[in-house]
Amino acid sequence: MTNWLFWAIPKNYIRRYIFMFWLVMFFLPTYFLGLQFTKLGFIINWLWFDLVFYGWVKAKQMLGDDE
């Protein structure tokens, strides 16, 4: 868990991170669910998204599927 707190997005995943962040934080809640996050909700969802993305990148790296 402490590794996640200090991780930096690898250079080859920055575009994917930004695109997925925009999709998860703005597009899906607004256009499909009609929701708008509060400040606290935005921070919590950002942390959740970052943790999931970290786990996905680490799993890809462990499997050797790293691009």
pLDDT in tens, 7-34: 889 899 999 999 999 998 989 888 888 8
Query: Other C-beta atoms within 10 Å of 29: how many?
Result: 17
Of 38, 15, 14, nearest to 25 (Cα)?
A: 38
**Confidence band for 65, pLDDT divided at 50, 70 and 90:** confident
Given a cut of 70, whether residue 2 has pLDDT beyond it is: no
Tell me what pLDDT residue 46 has: 93
Q: Cα(60)–Cα(67) distance, rounded to whole angstroms?
A: 9
Q: Could you say which DSSP state residue 25 is in? A: I
**Confidence band for 1, pLDDT divided at 50, 70 and 90:** low
Q: Quickly list DSSP for 25-57.
A: IIIIIIIIT-----HHHHHHHHHHHHHHHHHHH
